[in-house]
C-alpha cells in the first residue's frame, strides 16, 4: 500500500488512531503521536500486524523518541450513552488535546474526523500508511491490551486476557453463562440480548 502524502510538510504533524471499537467490553482507547523527524523509529506498522512482543518494544521506543504523545479514552458508560463511533471520535479528540505540544496538522486513521479546529485529514488504512498513525495505533493497543489482561483477574471466567473483549466464541459462551460484567458494553447487541433473556427468566 502506498504511503500517504499529506498536504502538510511541517514538523508538528500528529497521527491519531483508536483501538477497541469492536469489543463487547472495556473502554475505547486512542493515542496521538508527534514523531521527531530527527529521531526516527524503525519498524513502525499497523499494530495488528505486529507481535505482542514487538508492539511492547516499539511502544517504549515511541514514548522515548517521539516529540510528544498522549493516550486517552472514552469509557464504557460513554460508549453506551453516545454510541461507539462518537465515543471513538471523542477519545481521539481527547488524545490530541492532551498533547504537550499542540500539532499544526493532524492525520486520523479511518474515514471520519472528530469535530475540532485542527487542520486535519482522514486517512483510510492510515495505520499502515502513515508512521505517526502507526505509532499511535501501537500505543493505544498496548495500553488497552494491558488493561484487558488486568481485568481477566478482576472479572474471572470471561477470558479477557486472551480475546481482549472481542466477541469470540469463548467470550460469547462466557457471557451467556455469567451474564455481563461491570465492564461490558450494555448497548452492544450480544450483551443486550443476554440481558433481555435474563429478564425473561
Q: Is the pLDDT of residue 35 over 90?
A: yes
For 49: left if phi > 0, alpha if psi spans -120 to 50, otherwise beta; the answer is: alpha
Residue 198 vs residue 66, higher pLDDT? 66
The model's pLDDT over 121-150, given as tens digits with 9 standing for 90+, comes to 999 999 999 999 999 999 999 999 999 999
Quote the mean pLDDT of the chain. 95
The model's pLDDT over 94-120, given as tens digits with 9 standing for 90+, comes to 999 999 999 999 999 999 999 999 999
Q: Is the pLDDT of residue 59 over 90?
A: yes
DSSP-assigned beta bridge partners for residue 121: 107
Q: pTM score, two decimals? A: 0.95
Q: Residue 94's closest CA among 145, 48, 136?
A: 136
CA distances from 191 to 26, 74, 165 (A): 13, 19, 12
> Which pLDDT score is estimated for 1?
62
> Which pLDDT score is estimated for 141?
98
List the domain boundaries for the chain. 13-144
The model's pLDDT over 72-99, given as tens digits with 9 standing for 90+, comes to 999 999 999 999 999 999 999 999 999 9
> Which pLDDT score is estimated for 9?
86
Is residue 43 very low, low, confident or very high in pLDDT (cuts 50, 70, 90)? Answer: very high
Is residue 3 very low, low, confident or very high in pLDDT (cuts 50, 70, 90)? Answer: confident
Q: Is the pLDDT of residue 201 over 80?
A: no
- By the 10 Å C-beta count (0-12 exposed, 13-18 middle, 19+ buried), 74 is classed as buried
Is residue 199 very low, low, confident or very high in pLDDT (cuts 50, 70, 90)? Answer: low
- Please give the CATH topology (third level) of the domain spanning 13-144: Nucleotidyltransferase; domain 5 (3.30.420)
3-state percent helix, strand, coil for the chain, nearest multiple of 5: 45, 15, 40
Amino acid at each position: 500500500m502506498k504511503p500517504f502524502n499529506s498536504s502538510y510538510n511541517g514538523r508538528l504533524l500528529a497521527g491519531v488512531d483508536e483501538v477497541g471499537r469492536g469489543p463487547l467490553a472495556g473502554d475505547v482507547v486512542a493515542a496521538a503521536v508527534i514523531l521527531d523527524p530527527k529521531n526516527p523509529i524503525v519498524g513502525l506498522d499497523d499494530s495488528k500486524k505486529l507481535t505482542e512482543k514487538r508492539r511492547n518494544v516499539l511502544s517504549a521506543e515511541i514514548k522515548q523518541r517521539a516529540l510528544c504523545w498522549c493516550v486517552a479514552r472514552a469509557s464504557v458508560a460513554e460508549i453506551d450513552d453516545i454510541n461507539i463511533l462518537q465515543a471513538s471520535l471523542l477519545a481521539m479528540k481527547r488524545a490530541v488535546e492532551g498533547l504537550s505540544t499542540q500539532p499544526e496538522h493532524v492525520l486520523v486513521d479511518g474515514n471520519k474526523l472528530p469535530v475540532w479546529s485542527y487542520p486535519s485529514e482522514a486517512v483510510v488504512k492510515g495505520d499502515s500508511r502513515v508512521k505517526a498513525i502507526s505509532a499511535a495505533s501501537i500505543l493505544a493497543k498496548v495500553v488497552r491490551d494491558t488493561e484487558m489482561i488486568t481485568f481477566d483477574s478482576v472479572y474471572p471466567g470471561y477470558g479477557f486476557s486472551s480475546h481482549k473483549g472481542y466477541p469470540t466464541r469463548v467470550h460469547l459462551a462466557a457471557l451467556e453463562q455469567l451474564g455481563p460484567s461491570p465492564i461490558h458494553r450494555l448497548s452492544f447487541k450480544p450483551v443486550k440480548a443476554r440481558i433481555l433473556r435474563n429478564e425473561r427468566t
